């Protein structure tokens, strides 16, 4: 009798211990599924989790972020995810209804929540009215959505996202970004001329750069016109700059025209809206892109 009872108790203990550990093993085994909207959100999630395993990027490499529309498959994958990391802002209005439809177990992580937002600014933008929207939207405060162009913001966002995911901060990546931030801070400030869209308001605001640009950050149409070309030539001469910048994936048409009229060169200053397919496949990171920008500013100072 005593032995039977011992066996019974031992069995109970085994069952109890097994029950304790089974859910844990199951949870660890299951790959978490994180959906990210833009490249920056993808990069931050990859740095936090330590790999690209289980992380999906909706706006594919090389695609225009401002033209994105989700497919039915995208919507299903968001609904079945553990978390969605998105930017917030006017380019992601397509996401609003999807977010409303999500079950409670999908974590909604908005990068806008971790930084101080700046209102869109028309200062020093030649074609400022291009992006104004209809009359009903005139009184509405529009925040500039390109929060990630300042690495100071990127660090805050990464810390916030890590906490929201319940994971520890990627200290190595944050240290690298802090070093980039410190180097941007210590560079002498030059005037930056963008013969292109200008999504760098957070960057110029945080680091004190003067700038002139052809179009606002999210302008749909960026074709050359005589006013833009004349103004940019004037600014290049007035500011004595030797470099004209464009953002990534640009046709550089306006920039090349200004360059040949002024003798300046054309360089890409990366806004990290998106990266090329090739860069994505090579594992290029947001920090790599910022280091390229840093090298260009150092070279041109
Ligand atoms: Zn943009």
CA of 64 to the centre of ligand 1 (A): 9
**Contact call for residues 270 and 23 (beta carbons, < 8 A):** no
Q: Quick check: 25 pLDDT over 50?
A: no
Q: Quick check: 172 pLDDT over 70?
A: yes
Q: Which protein residues have a CB closer than 5 Å to ligand 1 (ion)?
A: 199, 217-218
Q: CA dist 50 to 12, 56, 136, 170, 199, Å?
A: 39, 14, 45, 8, 28
CA of 249 to the centre of ligand 1 (A): 12
* Residue 154, token pair as written in the block: 């990127």
CA of 220 to the centre of ligand 1 (A): 10
Tell me the per-residue pLDDT of 26-42, one tens digit each, with 9 for 90 and over.
444 456 799 999 999 99
CA of 141 to the centre of ligand 1 (A): 17
Q: Quick check: 200 pLDDT over 50?
A: yes
pLDDT band with cut points at 50, 70 and 90 for residue 218: confident
Supply the pTM of this predicted model.
0.87
Question: Pairing state of beta strands 55-57 and 211-216?
Answer: unpaired
pLDDT band with cut points at 50, 70 and 90 for residue 301: confident
Domain 176-299: which CATH class? alpha beta
Q: Quick check: 112 pLDDT over 70?
A: yes
């Amino acid at each position: 009798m005593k032995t039977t009872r011992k066996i019974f108790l031992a069995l109970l203990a085994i069952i109890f211990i097994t029950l304790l550990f089974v859910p844990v093993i199951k949870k660890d085994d299951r790959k978490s599924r994180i959906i990210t909207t833009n490249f920056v959100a993808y990069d931050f999630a990859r740095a936090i989790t330590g790999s690209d395993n289980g992380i999906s990027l909706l706006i594919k490499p090389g695609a225009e972020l401002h033209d994105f529309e989700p497919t039915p498959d995208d919507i299903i994958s968001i609904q079945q995810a553990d978390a969605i990391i998105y930017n917030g802002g006017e380019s992601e209005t397509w996401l609003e209804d999807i977010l409303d439809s999500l079950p409670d177990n999908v974590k909604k992580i908005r990068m806008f929540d971790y930084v101080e937002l700046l209102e869109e600014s028309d200062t020093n933008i030649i074609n400022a009215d291009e992006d104004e929207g209809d009359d009903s939207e005139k009184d509405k405060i529009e925040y500039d959505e390109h929060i990630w162009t300042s690495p100071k913001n990127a660090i805050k966002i990464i810390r916030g996202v890590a906490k929201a995911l319940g994971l520890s901060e990627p200290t190595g990546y944050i240290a690298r970004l802090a070093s980039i931030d410190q180097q941007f801070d210590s560079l002498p400030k030059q005037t930056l001329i963008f013969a292109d869209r200008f999504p760098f308001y957070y960057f110029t605001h945080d680091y004190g750069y003067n700038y002139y640009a052809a179009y606002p950050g999210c302008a749909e149409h960026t074709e050359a016109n005589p006013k833009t070309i004349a103004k940019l030539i004037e600014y290049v001469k007035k500011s004595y700059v030797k470099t004209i910048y464009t953002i990534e994936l640009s046709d550089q048409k306006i920039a090349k025209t200004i360059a040949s009229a002024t003798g300046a060169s054309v360089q890409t200053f990366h806004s990290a809206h998106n990266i090329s397919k090739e860069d994505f496949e090579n594992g290029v990171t947001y920090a790599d892109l910022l280091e390229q920008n840093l090298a260009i500013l150092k070279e041109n100072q």
